Amino acid sequence: MSRRKQIYEGKAKILYEGPEPGTLVQYFKDDATAFNAQKKATLDGKGVLNNRISEFIMLRLMEIGIPTHFIRRLNMREQLIKKVEIVPLEVICRNVAAGTMSVRLGIEEGEKLPRSIVEFCLKRDDLGDPLVAEEHVYAFGWATQGEMDEIIAMTLRINDYLQGMFAGIGIRLVDFKIEFGRLAHPDGLGDHMIILADEISPDSCRLWDMETNKKLDKDRFRRDLGEVTEAYTEVATRLGILKPNPSTANISVISSND
Ligand code: CDP
């Protein structure tokens, strides 16, 4: 790892220069942060679980035609990805009221929304990632109208697919955050295509057990509910990534090539 050039270090991931031009290596750390990094901890095994869960979800989404930055998983903590220019927006899609939406609009957490809602936050840690309107996006040139049309259409498609995928394993997809990037068009034309980037994992989704409403996501860390990696392990097990292992919290990976 030390031989590679580090491009960027975020709160939960590190990006290194990739082996070929146009690629990067995305390394998943065990670090967890919340409330704009005011709360921090290291959760043993979280990076391994998020690497696997995000790989699984990206592959499923690619199967239904969503373009993503994912190329392949390299090992327990790393995946090879396409280098993109990140659109500076956190795109949040919500099906059930929770978190900041409940607080902002006074809707009780757990209330089903009349329809799925897509929101945008500016990626600015120093400002606490403020909620912005599409008008801000165009006025400040963070993305074009064409790009936003693609982003919204892809987000709703991802939401439809993931809601069904999680429902099939008894999990309610309450909300999630995704990020998109610009990739030079493969046919060499001047324009850029928008692809899904970053990760999709229990760090970036709210996932509730459908029967008990047990939280199986990062809210366990944010709200000091305990058993965070156990909950992530439960998600990975239900997705079929890990072998069920009721006696221990050990991670036994199915068909690993690590
Ligand atoms: O998570 P929090 O309550 O601060 O904010 P939210 O706007 O209610 O978050 C909506 C969804 O986006 C949740 O699933 C969060 O985990 C996710 N999110 C994220 O992954 N990263 C952020 N910086 C903000 C939200």
Of ligand 1's listed atoms, the one at least distance from the Cα of 217 is 16
pLDDT band at 256 (very low <50, low <70, confident <90, very high): very low
pLDDT band at 140 (very low <50, low <70, confident <90, very high): very high
From CA 32, how far away is CA 225, in angstroms rounded? 14
Residue 86 alpha carbon to ligand 1 centre in Å = 18
Which pair of structure tokens corresponds to residue 105? 């609009």
* Predicted TM-score of the model (pTM): 0.93
For the ranges 36-40, 48-52, 251-255, the one whose mean pLDDT is highest: 48-52
Which pair of structure tokens corresponds to residue 194? 């928008």
- Quote the mean pLDDT of the chain: 94
Q: Judge if the beta carbon of residue 90 lies within 6 A of ligand 1.
A: yes
Q: Judge if the beta carbon of residue 155 lies within 6 A of ligand 1.
A: no
Of ligand 1's listed atoms, the one at least distance from the Cα of 131 is 7
Encode pLDDT of 206-240 as tens digits. 999 999 999 999 999 999 999 999 999 999 999 99
Does residue 151 surpass a pLDDT of 50?
yes
Q: Judge if the beta carbon of residue 23 lies within 6 A of ligand 1.
A: no
pLDDT band at 258 (very low <50, low <70, confident <90, very high): very low
Q: Which residue has the higher pLDDT, 107 or 37?
A: 107
Domain ranges of the chain: 6-84+228-252, 85-209
Match 């209330």 to its residue by tokens: 111
List the residue whose alpha carbon is closest to atom 11 of ligand 1.
Answer: 176
Average pLDDT of span 187-199 = 88
Q: What are phi and psi of 105, to 5 degrees?
A: -105, 5
Domain 6-84+228-252: give its CATH code.
3.30.200.20
Q: Judge if the beta carbon of residue 215 lies within 6 A of ligand 1.
A: no
The DSSP code for 128 is: T
What CATH class is the domain 85-209? alpha beta
Does residue 178 surpass a pLDDT of 90?
yes
